[in-house]
Amino acid sequence: MSDSFVIAIGDIHGHMLALRRLLAGLNKQYDIFSPGFILKPQVQIVFTGDYVDRGENSLETIKAVKILSDKNPSQVFCLMGNHELLSLASFDDASFLLNGCSEGKLNKDEIYNMYKYSMHGLNGGINFVKNFGDTPFEALKNYVSAMSVGGKVRNFIKGLLPLKTLKIGDKKVLFVHAGVSARLQFDGDIEGHCKMISDYISEEISGAGSEARYLGNRTIGETSIFWTRDVPRGGDRYANELLDGLDLDVIVVGHTNHDEITQYGRGVYDIDVGMAPCYGENDPAALIITPNKTSAFYVSRGEVDFT
């Protein structure tokens, strides 16, 4: 493909095998890489978040995404998903368990059983924690270290983008994890909304409860761009109203899984195809946006046009 184009990749959820297959398939179809994991100059990639939880290889997945981003800083854009927020939100629970086990007040062998009642644990976070060690206590200890202020994984998560806008030819495209919140629709200021969320997430406040801060605030809580399911619930008419209201040509979301990439209205796409085994391990897929058309790519089928 000679024209510039953007590849959008949805929820991976720790399923590294799917990411490997997808990147290999994209390279075979579109010749996107030069040696050393360097993207060809005409290619950009946007990840829409949810790199972690549920699957078996969350840590390996974020390492791979970070390597790709570090090698191509002006061409790879990594968004935050609600599962990255969940890991931040349940940090206090993980720290409490670690302290209790270290002091002999809690049973080290029951760490996973106890953590599964945290908001993160209830949503597949146990599999993320397990990546950090061979025993429950070792894994929790290393996880808390990596998620503490200044820790490598926390730094990665805190550096993720709330959303991204790109111009692809004449197309104005918005990429966001879950959907377009009512607050963003009302304000209509995409860049201002992005800055507001970035400022909120980047700030570290000593003594602030992690769950209240990352789940209880309306800026990033259950009605925000990280959680809303407005697009699949609203359907085609709603999708077109979103495009008109925000003066956009394309909106790309993830978060709500389908068997295939799903189009709503004339240009809103849900690209979460349930790649992780817990969702059916569906065919790894990505959205391909060129100046002239938007299509789906599937590892097993190649490029598929929308009808």
pLDDT in tens, 191-227: 999 999 999 999 987 766 899 999 988 889 989 999 9
Q: Is residue 93 part of a domain?
A: no
The per-residue pLDDT for 2 is 61
Q: What is the pLDDT of residues 126-147, one digit of tens each?
A: 999 999 999 999 999 999 999 9
Q: What is the pLDDT of residues 277-305, one digit of tens each?
A: 999 999 999 999 999 999 999 999 999 99
pTM: 0.96
Domains in the chain: how many in total?
Answer: 1
Q: Is residue 129 part of a domain?
A: no
Range of the domain at 19: 5-80+163-186+215-305
Q: Is residue 245 part of a domain?
A: yes
The per-residue pLDDT for 188 is 86
Whether the pLDDT of residue 307 is over 80: the answer is no
Cα(155)–Cα(146) distance, rounded to whole angstroms?
Answer: 9
Residue 276: both structure tokens together: 């992780």
Q: Is residue 228 part of a domain?
A: yes
Cα(65)–Cα(62) distance, rounded to whole angstroms?
Answer: 5
Q: What is the pLDDT of residues 224-280, one digit of tens each?
A: 999 999 999 999 999 999 999 999 999 999 999 999 999 999 999 999 999 999 999
Q: What is the pLDDT of residues 22-77, one digit of tens each?
A: 999 999 999 999 999 999 999 999 999 999 999 999 999 999 999 999 999 999 99
Nearest of 153, 155, 151, 143 to residue 112 by alpha carbon: 143
Q: Is residue 19 part of a domain?
A: yes
Give one word for 92, left, alpha or beta, with left for phi > 0 and alpha for psi -120 to 50. Answer: alpha
The per-residue pLDDT for 1 is 64
CATH of the domain at 61: 3.60.21.10
At 101, the pLDDT band (50, 70, 90 cuts) reads: very high
Cα(233)–Cα(229) distance, rounded to whole angstroms?
Answer: 6
Q: Is residue 224 part of a domain?
A: yes
Cα(68)–Cα(33) distance, rounded to whole angstroms?
Answer: 11
The per-residue pLDDT for 68 is 98
- Residues 80-100, mean pLDDT to the nearest whole number: 97
Q: Is residue 69 part of a domain?
A: yes
First to last CA, the chain: 21
Q: Is residue 71 part of a domain?
A: yes
- Residues 15-26, mean pLDDT to the nearest whole number: 98
